[in-house]
Amino acid sequence: EIAKNVDQASTGASEVAGTICEVRRATDDTESSARSLVDSVESLKRQSGTLSRELGGFLGELRQVI
């Protein structure tokens, strides 16, 4: 009976370790995706600023012509 319980505990511990590894991989993937998202947002922010400045300059020139 003790040997059976030890075997079951060992199996359970192996399953828990496997689950922990899966969670770790999922965490790493999530972290990578979050970093990529932050990079994309920062790029979009820069592009938005550039577009705003360019549009402001264009509208300023248009006002001078009209």
* Measured distance CA(39)–CA(33) in Å, rounded: 10
Predicted confidence at residue 39, as pLDDT, reads 98
**Tens-place pLDDT, residues 41-64:** 999 999 999 999 999 999 999 999
Q: How far apart are CA 37 and CA 45, in angstroms?
A: 12
d(CA 1, CA 25): 36
pLDDT at position 62: 96
CA 18 and chain centroid, separation = 23
The alpha-helical segments, DSSP class H, found in the chain are 2-65
Q: What's the pLDDT tens digit per position in 3-21?
A: 999 999 999 999 999 999 9
Query: At a CB cut-off of 8 Å and minimum separation 6, what does 34 contact?
Result: none
